[in-house]
Structure formats: structure tokens, C-alpha cells
A and B are shown apart, each in its own frame.
Chain A
Amino acid sequence: MAVDTQTVARIAALARIKLGEGELDAMVPELNGILAWVEQLGEVDTTGVEPMTAVIPNTLRLRADVIDADPLTGGGKRDAVLANAPAAEHGFFGVPKVIE
């Protein structure tokens, strides 16, 4: 399935990546090259085959239902959480004004 400039622009919008016109045009043949190549998977008969969900049989665990079960990933870490924020104010992440 080949993509055109319009489709790539739509994908880029979905992915929240701004592409300049030159970038957009360059991306079309590159993506088409890759997509044409992965098309060969269509040749494989996968009737009755379950898609892989876990590569090693493993059951997902639940942690103990207690506050701060692991202090490293528990709560009370506001300053550490905000330490790398590009804009943090009054103990919150700062973002540009959102008006819908």
C-alpha cells in the first residue's frame, strides 16, 4: 500500500511531528520503500496462528496494594518529578494557554 504526500502529512499530524515541505516530500519515497518491503509478510499463511503477545511465557504481577510499596517509585516525589521539566511553576508542569 503506497502512501502519498497527503497521507504522510496525516501520519505526521497523528504522530505530532511537524514536517517541513522538503522533509515531507523526502519522506514519501522512503516510507514507500520500507512499506513495499514489509508487504512480503502478506505471503505468509498465518491462518490459525495467534499473534505474539509475550515472547517469554510470563504472568504479569501485581504489587502489594500498599502506599509507597517501593519508595523509589512511590509518591511524595514532586520536586524530583519536576526537576527536568522545561517549565515548572508553583509545583506544577507549565504549558502554554489552552483555549478550546
Chain B
Amino acid sequence: MPGSTTSLTDLGVRSIRDGVAAGDFSAVEVAEAFNANVAAASVLNTFIVATPDAALDAARAIDAKRAKGEPLGKMGGVPIGMKDLFATKGVQTSAASHMLENFLPEYESTVSQKLWDAGAGMLGKLNLDQFAMGSSNETSYFGNVINPWRRNDGGNAALAPGGSSGGSSAAIAARLCPAATGTDTGGSIRQPAAFTGISGIKPTYGRCSRWGIVAFASSLDQAGPMARDVTDCAIMLEAMAGFDPKDSTSLDMPVPQWEANLSPDMKGKRVGVPREYRMDGMDEDVAKSWDQGIAWLKDAGAEIVDISLPHTRYALPAYYIVAPAEASSNLARYDGVRYGLRDLPEGAGLQDMYAATRAAGFGAEVKRRILIGTYVLSAGFYDAYYTQAQKVRTLIARDFAKAFESCDVILAPTAPTAAFALGEMTSDPLSMYLNDVFAVPASLAGLPAMSVPAGLNREGLPLGLQIIGNMFDEQGVLDAGLAIERAAEFVVRPDRWW
């Protein structure tokens, strides 16, 4: 294995960390191998900016530490991709927008700093939907990301990698990085993970600091790891999580030892299957994979429980009031004065400059959501829309609380479909929103949830299964995820065509 670049990029987080620690290969060899894969895959458009030197510098530091016999950290020697929503000091942080195209942060986000402190290195900044608003990575100012997976019909249609963390998901599936950061506001870690045959977990709201993450909807935004398997997610989540006084909603709780406590044994566990998620006209392959997941967990020793989440169908409409409302407020900061783009037409005053700057700096989907948010918060409509949505959100959280009286984790599909083709959903914003139907309820309730690959559909595309856990129970989610991973034995990968 040592010296062979192709095999080093087949390794995941744990294998790289342990291999570097054991001296099977150096961190620099690993970084060089992934840098080479990144450089050779520009057609996938996963990275907005590659930082091969940063990856090498971090790797050299790890190799030097090992030579001195110092501890290497939880992620020692692992090069990762950083979603371009995390502020990285001196490295462009664009949120895939024209507005922040040339933004060079003077500071490092808490989550990225924690990862560097744990020994990880940065391969580059990953593409995403603009300001994390989208489910297909088609709203990026820097162009579409191409899913490395293709349908088995020989048509070679370019497929969406999911969104908003589409650069992260595609890069991991294509072996350009062993893991990457994601953020999840209404499914943005889980749905792209499902579309690309990888794993990803959104922890309980507040586990990972939001400080230094470009804000979208602050009551929902939560960072999490994306990687090829459950163990790698557990390792990386441990490195990312932890109390941060700079985030007012950060959880002041110790970070559990998720990796050390991982167990695929489901004996004595009750798995809830929400009947409202079995929707009319459900995709046959998605329904089949869900049934298969239920059978797998039963085989692993779990008791299967029928549960009800009665307000499920109201989750998406509530989300599309709450999230745009928060976005319209958060994105008010982009005014062309303090940072980011400024568009100052000849002879324009301050107000004209604001309006011109925001017209030029935001893409169509971002404008749409700001306008919706502004409308539902405006005088006379606030109670009918926003307050009602927040009440429905309370009811959705109650549904989950009640369900967790009779089960330990919930099993559901991650998305209603496999990856769709680029352009297939863009003509109607609503049809795109509906792709997050299974992901959004857990977001509204702040619960930990993860997607793990379950198999392929009849088109040869990966499908994901979602595990939703009770507040703070990432361990239960990861354990059930591991049980599915063991049973699914998902080893297929996209043929390299790029």
C-alpha cells in the first residue's frame, strides 16, 4: 500500500489516522495522494478553491510531531474538505455567492479550528448551494457540482449531488477527500449524503458551534461531518463538537466518546417507524429500501415499533416560513459597507447602493427566500405566517417527544428519490423544496439525524436511510447507522469517468 497513490485515497478517516500513527505511510504521502485526486477532478467542480499547500503544511506538521513522539490528535494526518461556508483565516470564504466572492476572513470558525487542532489538514473549500439555500447545488455562483454517480442507462446524464453540501458529498464519493464538513439547516448534510452513497450526521442543535459559519437560518443551522462510513463520522464529529462561549446557543455539555462507544448491537432497542412518512405515490425503490432497513435492524436485535408523527405534512411549509424569515434577517448584513461586494452606481446615494449591491450580489434563489422572509415578517402578516409556523414547529417537536416515549430511534428514508438530473427540478422552486420532506422535521425539532447508504435503486443510484434520534442521543443514531452499514455492506462506488 505505501507509495501507491490510488490505494491511499481509498482509505477513510480511521484508516488514515491509524496508518499515519503506526507509520505505515506518512501524512505527507496521504496529502499528496488526495491533492492529486483533487487536481484531476476539476470537471466535477466540487472545490471552489483547492489549497494543496495548506494540506501539505498540516501533513508535514503531523509527520514532524510523530518523529518527536508527540500525540497526533483525533484526526491526525487526515486531509479533509471544508464546505465554503466556514470562515477560514486568509482563505476565501464565499458561501458560493458573488456577494462574498472575495471575502478573506480575518478569523477562523470554531469548527474548522477544532479540526485543525485535532490534526486535520485542509484540501480546499468545497462548493455548495449559494448561502446554503438549495437541495441540488444548482444555486452556486460558481457553477453546478456534478455527482460522480451516473444512471446505469448509458445516458450519462449529469446528476445533482444533492444540496446544500453538494461539493462535500460529491468530493467524498469521488475519493477526492476522505471526509468533509457539512452544514444542515433542513437536510443539507443528509440528502446529499444519500444522493452520493456516503454517510453524514447532523448532530443535536447546539453540539457544533455556529461561530464563523456564514449564517442562513440560525435556529436551524448545524454543522456536522460527512464521510464514507459511520465510524469516520463518529471520529470527526468528536473533533468538531464542543461548547463554545462565542455561540449563544452552544450546548454546554461534554462531548461523548462516540467512536469508542460505537456498537451495532440493537438488542433491547426499539426502532420507531413513522406511519406518516409512508406517503401516497412513494417511490417503489425507496419504499423497498426502507422495508429492507427495518428488516436489517430487526435482524440486529431491535424491536420494531409503529409510531405516529401526526404533523409531518406541515413540517415543510413551516420550514419554508421559518427559514426564509431568519434568512431575510441574517442576510440584511450584506449592505456593501463592511465587507463583501459593493455596487455603487454613478451618483447613487446610500439606499441605492444597498439595493444595487444586493441585486448584484445575491442569486435568484437567495432573493426569493429573502423576499418570502421579508413578506412573512412584515406588519400585518407576522402572526398569520411566522407565529403560526413557530406554533406548528412546537407541535412537530412534541410529536417527536411523544414518539420517543415508545422508541429509541426512528428509521425513515432520507429523501423521496435518488439523485435527479441537473436542471430537472429547477423550473419549479416548490418541487425542489419537496425533496427535503423527510429531512426537515428533525431539523425543526433540533434532533440528531444521519443518513447511511442502504443500497442501489434500479437505476444503479445510491439510496440512503435516515436514523433520527432523541435530543443528545447521537450515540443511538450512530449505533443504528452502524447496524445498517454492517447489514447493507455497501461497497459499490461510482466508476471513474472524470
Contact yes or no, A18 B339, CB < 8 A: no
Q: Is A66 an interface residue (CB 8 A)?
A: no
Task: Answer whether A30 and B358 are a contact pair too, CB < 8 Å, given A3-B375, A40-B314.
Answer: no
Check: A67 CB closer than 8 A to any chain B CB: no
Is the CB–CB distance between B392 and A46 below 8 Å? yes
A89 neighbours in B (Cβ, 8 Å): none
Choose among A8, A55, A61, A96 the residue that contacts B248 (Cβ–Cβ < 8 A).
A61
Contact of B204 among A56, A60, A77 (CB under 8 A): A56
Contacts of A55 in B (CB 8 A): 205, 219-220, 393, 397, 444-446
Q: How far is the CB of A93 from chain B (nearest CB, A)?
A: 5
| Distance between Cα atoms of A96 and B28 in the complex (Å) | 50
A86 touches B385 (CB 8 A): no
| Assembled-state Cα–Cα distance A80/B108 (Å) | 13
- Measured between alpha carbons, how far is A1 from B388 in the docked complex, in Å? 15
Interface string of B361-376 (1 = CB under 8 A from A): 0100001101110110
Majority DSSP secondary structure for residues of A touching B = loop
Q: Which of B90-142 contact A (CB under 8 A)?
A: 103-107
A49-77 CB contacts (< 8 Å) to partner B = 49-56, 58, 60-61, 63, 70, 72-73, 77
* Residues of chain B with a CB closer than 8 A to A58's CB: 206, 249, 251
Given A31-B375, A50-B394, A63-B245, verify A41-B338 contact (CB < 8 Å): no
Partner of A11, one of B219, B249, B251, B375: B375
Answer whether A17 and B445 are a contact pair too, CB < 8 Å, given A38-B317, A51-B390, A86-B342: no
Contacting residues, chain B, for A19 (C-beta < 8 A): 359, 367
Interface residues in B321-375 by Cβ distance below 8 A to A read 321, 328, 332, 335-342, 344, 348-356, 358-359, 362, 367-368, 370-372, 374-375
Look across to chain A and name the residue whose beta carbon is closest to the beta carbon of B321.
A38
Closest residue to A79 on the B side, CB-wise?
B106
Taken together as a complex, chains A and B put the C-alpha atoms of A81 and B353 apart, in Å, by: 21
For the complex of A and B, 6 pairs with smallest distance between CB atoms:
A55-B446, A51-B390, A86-B342, A84-B339, A46-B391, A18-B355
Chain A positions within 8 Å of B, measured between CB atoms, are: 1, 3, 7-8, 11-19, 27, 30-31, 33-35, 37-38, 40-42, 44, 46, 49-56, 58, 60-61, 63, 70, 72-73, 77, 80-81, 83-87, 93, 95-99
| 19 intermolecular pairs with C-beta atoms under 8 Å apart | A1-B381, A14-B374, A15-B328, A16-B335, A17-B359, A18-B359, A35-B375, A38-B317, A40-B313, A46-B391, A49-B395, A55-B220, A55-B393, A72-B246, A84-B339, A86-B337, A86-B339, A86-B340, A95-B337
